[in-house]
Amino acid sequence: MVDARVSLNEYTNRVLMVVKAKYGLKDKSEAINKFAEMYGEDEVERKVKPSYLKKLDRIQREYYKQARKPGYRPTSIEELRKEIEGK
């Protein structure tokens, strides 16, 4: 956790007070965190979980293994998922 002292203009203060009240938060710090959670992805990408990367890698390897078979063409991502999860 990082501590910070900030200066807010009147509008920002009102926005934080509304966010605080709307979500039942106890202070402006929680309101700032909530606001960043809601809108931060527009500016900064979240870190990807290693388990998700492993899952994507497994799906890609399975796709290319299937794609080498003659005549194989999945018609949709759903079809590919069914084939992979069925194994």
Q: Do the domain assignments include residue 78?
A: yes
Do 59 and 38 belong to one domain? no
Rounded Cα gap, residues 83 and 51, in angstroms? 20
Q: Do the domain assignments include residue 34?
A: yes
The residue-averaged pLDDT of 32-49 equals 86
33: containing domain: 10-42
Q: Do the domain assignments include residue 2?
A: no
The whole model's pTM is what? 0.52
Q: Do the domain assignments include residue 1?
A: no
The residue-averaged pLDDT of 2-12 equals 92
Residue 73 — pLDDT band, cuts 50, 70, 90? low
Q: Do the domain assignments include residue 4?
A: no
How many Cα atoms occupy the beta-carbon half-sphere of 74 within 13 Å? Answer: 18
Do 54 and 36 belong to one domain? no
Do 31 and 54 belong to one domain? no
